[in-house]
Amino acid sequence: MTDLAWIDSALSSARPQAVAALVRYFRDLDIAEEAFQEACLKALRHWQKNGPPRDPAAWLIFVGRNSAIDAVRRRGKERALPDEATISDLDDAETAVAEQIDNADYRDDILRLLFVCCPPDLPATQQIALALRVVSGLSVKQIARAFLVGESAMEQRITRAKSRIAAAGVPFEAPGAVERAERLAAVAAMIYLIFNEGYSASGNEIDARAPLCNEAIRLARLLLRLFPAEPEIMGLLALMLLQRARAPARFDADGGIILLEDQDRRLWSRPMIAEGLALVDKAMRHQRPGPYQVQAAIAALHDRAEQPADTDWVEIDLLYAVLERLQPSPVVTLNRSVAVAKTKGPAAALALIEPLEQRLSGYFHFFGVKGALLMKLGRAAEARIAFDQAIALASTAAEATHIRVHLDRLMKDDPPDRKAPASR
């Protein structure tokens, strides 16, 4: 790896901590970002010449803070601070900064930085774009590509989000225990949104959006290092790893979706599965179940099965029942019906989802599942109606294709004319 590549990874891994500390000093997102940019430029010059500093984040915070103060003074026509060439050689000064950013401090700094990106009234897509720009340091161009929009549209979206945050005011006081837990939950939800933006991609969008999954995993690892004993953060990271592990097997050469039971499981990433399973084990030990842990446990049961037939559907059904209690939602019940169909048969599954029809009348997955169950029961005419409704509700071509794949498969496995001669 060249020096420049090393510096690049060091800058990007130091970014959350450094920007978070600068936001604490300046109480302003824009000034903090500018200060960090300035420090990065100086790092490129100095680190190449003098080698890496002992603590890159502390160096960037120190130099960034001084550049920003310097800029403010220059604007005020006051005496400038000494050049960073002198500053950066003062090892004592860096050490003092490093000591200031002890664990407890920067833990809250980074949590604050993530938290300001996800106020509840900010639309999800803006939250994600802002976090990717500010915390992860992706360029506007990279983010625009991941969201499949133009660069100027993304620039506007981020600027709008920033001004809304500036108007709302950044919470700078150190959070209490309850507040910290609330912030953690909001941030976890935002990280999972980032992941799903990447994970729900299909077709020719996959390459552009896959980095979002990696970024979400990186942020969750960061969060878990800051809060090592939080079982839900373990669950979140495990859930994302256990899903991401299947990525190499999820699409065919044309970018079409390959259903879980048809995937070539040898392509699944073993190290990611190992890490995910280890985290599920660690989380379970705390005996404080939560939605991410339960979903991770469900993903783990899929990933543990070497063949689709080895899948422990009884356990999956039980876990969905737990999830329904923790996070009651018709969508969870709908997902559970897939497990129920495997353990108790399609009639039981259909009985489970029929009461949901009114609440899920605009949800294409509902009609996809309903159609599949009806097909299995040999009620081909009703199944086709459900599939048509699903395709009408599909919001992307990929979703529609997904249903057609489903339909084709069932047509092949259970030809309707054999199963339902009465309807002909």
Partner 1 sequence: MLYAILCYHSEDIVGSWTKEEDDAVMARLAVVQEGLAKNGRLGPVVRLLPTTAATTLRKDHEPPLVLDGPFAETKEQLLGFYVVNCASLDDALESARELASANPGGSYEIRPVALFNPGVAMT
Q: Which residue lies nearer to partner 1 by CB, 237 or 407?
A: 237
Closest approach, Cβ 277 to partner 1, in A, equals 9
Using alpha carbons, select from 28, 25, 185 the residue that is nearest to residue 105: 25
Closest approach, Cβ 196 to partner 1, in A, equals 21
Q: If you search the block for the tokens 């009806």, which residue do you land on?
A: 374
Closest approach, Cβ 130 to partner 1, in A, equals 21
For 141, phi then psi, to 5°, come to -60, -45
Q: Which residue lies nearer to partner 1 by CB, 30 or 99?
A: 99
As a whole number of angstroms, the distance between CA 50 and CA 90 comes to 13
Cα separation values, 45 from 12, 50, 85, Å:
16, 9, 10
Cα separation values, 6 from 3, 12, 43, 44, Å:
5, 10, 12, 11
Q: Which residue lies nearer to partner 1 by CB, 220 or 403?
A: 220
Q: Which residue lies nearer to partner 1 by CB, 64 or 276?
A: 276
Q: Which residue lies nearer to partner 1 by CB, 14 or 391?
A: 14
Q: Which residue lies nearer to partner 1 by CB, 213 or 394?
A: 213
* Beta partners for residue 118, in sequence order: none
Residues 350 and 373: beta-carbon distance below 8 Å: yes
Q: Which residues contact 44 (CB under 8 A, 6 or more apart)?
A: 4, 7
Using alpha carbons, select from 21, 189, 183, 186 the residue that is nearest to residue 97: 21
As a whole number of angstroms, the distance between CA 148 and CA 383 comes to 34
Q: Which residue lies nearer to partner 1 by CB, 237 or 356?
A: 237
Closest approach, Cβ 119 to partner 1, in A, equals 27
Closest approach, Cβ 221 to partner 1, in A, equals 5
Using alpha carbons only, give the angle 356, 297, 264 rounded to the nearest 5 degrees: 95
Residues in contact with partner 1 by CB under 8 A are: 1, 5-6, 9-10, 12-14, 54-55, 103, 218, 221-222, 224-225, 228-229, 234, 237, 271, 274-275, 278-279, 282, 285
Residues 70 and 82: beta-carbon distance below 8 Å: no
Question: What length is written for the chain?
Answer: 424
Q: Which residue lies nearer to partner 1 by CB, 217 or 380?
A: 217
Cα separation values, 32 from 113, 165, 366, Å:
11, 14, 46
Closest approach, Cβ 292 to partner 1, in A, equals 14
Closest approach, Cβ 229 to partner 1, in A, equals 5
As a whole number of angstroms, the distance between CA 147 and CA 140 comes to 10
Closest approach, Cβ 296 to partner 1, in A, equals 13
